[in-house]
Structure 1
Amino acid sequence: MPLFKRNPFGHILFLKKWLIRIFGLISHGRYRRFNNLHIEGSEILRDLPDNNVLFISNHQTYFADVAAMFHVFNAALKGRVDNIKNIGYIWNPKLNIYFVAAGETMRAGLLPKIFAYAGSVSIDRTWRSKGENVNRQVKMSDVSNIGKALNDGWVITFPQGTTTPFKPIRRGTAHIIKKHKPIVIPIVIDGFRRSFDKKGLVIKKRNVLQSMVIKPPLEIDYENEEIADIVTKIEYAIEQHPSFLKVISVDEYAKQEEELNKKRDFWS
C-alpha cells in the first residue's frame, strides 16, 4: 500500500491504520478485562462482500458501541469465532469500515475529531441541533457521502439517531436502503449503557455483561417494498419496535437479574 494512499474522503490510509491500532489497544480492555463482551453471530461477517454492506443497530453510547464493532468485525475477519481474544487482529485492520455520526458530535473537541478520521461519515441531523429540536432539510451532500462510503466498504448506522431506547426509526435509513440496495445486517447491543457514560469514554461500572448479537441479512424487496415497511422491518430487527416493551413482575425481574449476575461473574 502506497504510504500516502487515501480513501474516497481524502483520509490517508496509513494514518487511519495507526489510529485504529492505537485506539484498538487502548479500548480492548473495556470489553475483555473491565467488562465482558458476549458476541453471537460473528461468523456471518466472514461471508459478506467487501463493500455495500450496511449495519443497522440500536445505540447506547456515542463511541463505545462503534469501538466494540470495530473490534468484533476485525476479529471475525481474522478467524475469531464470537470472541476478541488475542488482539493481534487489530494490527492489519479493515480500513473501509465507516460509521454514520452527527457532525456536531464529531466536531466537539480534539478526541472526536480524531475518531472521525478513523471512519466517521458525519451528517447534520435534520431533527436535532445543539440540544434543540429543529426541522431542516436533508443535506444532499450527507446522502452522497453515505453512498460513497457504501461503495467503498462497510457502513455502520444507528437508525434511531439517538442513544435513547425505543425512539422512532429515522426514515432516512430506509431511503438509503432503497437507493443503494446494500446487504443489511442488523446488530442488537446491550450492556453498554450500564458500563459506560453517555459518551462511551468513561467506564461507569465494572463486571457488566455487554452483548452484541449479529443477525443474518434482512430480506428486503428493494424495488417493491414501501419506506414504511422497511422502517418496520428495521424496528423489529434491532429490537426497538414498541412490542419489545413489556412490563414484568418484580419476581420475574429479580430472577432475570440473578441469571444475568451469574453470567457477569466472568473472572471465576
Structure 2
Amino acid sequence: MGLFKQNPFGHYLILKKWVIRILGALTHRRFRGFNELKIEGSEIIRNLPDNNVLFISNHQTYFADVVAMFHVFNASLSDRDDSIKNVGYLWNPKMNIYYVAAKETMKSGLLPKIMAYAGSISIERTWRAKGEDVNRQVKMSDISAIKTALDDGWVITFPQGTTTPFKPIRKGTAHIIKHYKPVVVPIVIDGFRRSFDKKGLRVKKKNILQTLEIKEPLQIDYENDSIAEIVEKIEFAIEQHPSFLKVIPQDVLEAEEALNEMRKWRPNNP
C-alpha cells in the first residue's frame, strides 16, 4: 500500500488502517470479554465478491452494531469460523468496508469523527433532524456516495434508519437495491441494546449474550420485483416485519425470561 494512497472518498488508507486497528483493539473486549458475541454465518462472508455487496441489518445502537460487524467480517476473512478470538485479524483489515450513518451523528463529538474515518458514508436523514421530525428531499450527492462505496467495496446499512425496533423500512434502501443491483446480505443482531447505551459507546451491562447472524444473500429479481416487494423481503430478512410483533401469553414470557437467564454468558461457563 502506497503511503499516500487514498480511497474514493479521499481518506488516506494508511491512516484508515491504523484507525481500524486501534479502535478494534479498544473495542474487542466489549464483544469477547465483558460480553460474549455468538456468531453464525462466517462462511457466507468468505464467499462474497470484493465489491457491490450491501449488508442490511436491524439497528440497536448507533456505533456498537457497526463495530461488531467490522470485527466479524475481518475475522471471517481471516478464516475464523464464527469467532473473533485473537484480535490479530485486524492487522490487515479489509479496507473497503463502509457504513451508512446520519451526518449529524458522525459530527456529534471527537470520537464519532474519528470513527467516521474508518468508513462512514455520512448522509442527511430526510425524516429526522436534531430530534425532530422533518420532511426533506433526498440529496443526490448522498445517493452518489453510496454508489461510489458499492463500486469500491462493501456497504453496511440499517434500512429502518433508527434504533427503535419494528419501525418501517425506508424505501430509499429498496430503490438503491433495485437500481444498483448489489448482492444483498441480511444480518440480524440481538443483545446490543441490553449490553450498551444507546450510542453504543458505554458498556451498560456485562455478561450479556450478544448474537450476530449472517444470512444467505437475498433472492431478488432486480428487473421485476417492485419497491414494495423488495421492502417486504427486507422486513422478513432482518426480522422486522410486523408479523414478528405478536401478543405473547404471560406463561410464555416467563419461560422465555428463564431461557434468557440460562443463555446469559458467564466467564466461568465451560
Instruction: Output the CA distance in 2 between the equivalents of 1:59 and 1:116.
Output: 18
Structure 1 residues 143-162: Cα deviation after superposition (integer angstroms, max 9, x where no partner): 00000000000000000000
The residue type equivalent to 2:212 in the other structure is: M
Structure 1 residues 198-254: Cα deviation after superposition (integer angstroms, max 9, x where no partner): 000001111111101100000000011111110010000000000001221222122
**Percent of counterpart pairs with the same letter?**
72
The residue type equivalent to 2:103 in the other structure is: G
**2:36 and 2:265 in contact (8 A); partners too:** no
The residue type equivalent to 2:128 in the other structure is: R
> CA-atom RMSD, angstroms?
0.7
Alignment of 1:209-248 (within 5 A): 209-248=209-248
* Structure 1: stretches of 5+ with no match in the other structure: none
1:266 CA drift (Å):
3.5
**2:75 and 2:89 in contact (8 A); partners too:** yes
**2:98 and 2:154 in contact (8 A); partners too:** yes
**2:194 and 2:208 in contact (8 A); partners too:** yes
1:134 paired to 2:138: no
The residue type equivalent to 1:58 in the other structure is: N
1:263 CA drift (Å):
2.0
Instruction: Output the CA distance in 1 between the equivalents of 2:190 and 2:179.
Output: 30
State the TM-score, normalized to the length of structure 2. Answer: 0.98
Structure 1 residues 57-92: Cα deviation after superposition (integer angstroms, max 9, x where no partner): 000000000000000000000000111001110110
State the TM-score, normalized to the length of structure 1. Answer: 0.99
1:255 CA drift (Å):
1.5
1:52 CA drift (Å):
0.2
Look up the SS of the partner of 1:28 in the other structure.
Answer: helix
1:261 CA drift (Å):
1.8
The residue type equivalent to 1:76 in the other structure is: S
Question: Which segments of structure 1 move beyond 6 Å, counting only runs of 4 or more?
Answer: none
The residue type equivalent to 1:48 in the other structure is: L
Structure 1 residues 97-121: Cα deviation after superposition (integer angstroms, max 9, x where no partner): 0000000000111111111111000
1:78 counterpart residue number: 78
Alignment of 1:187-198 (within 5 A): 187-198=187-198
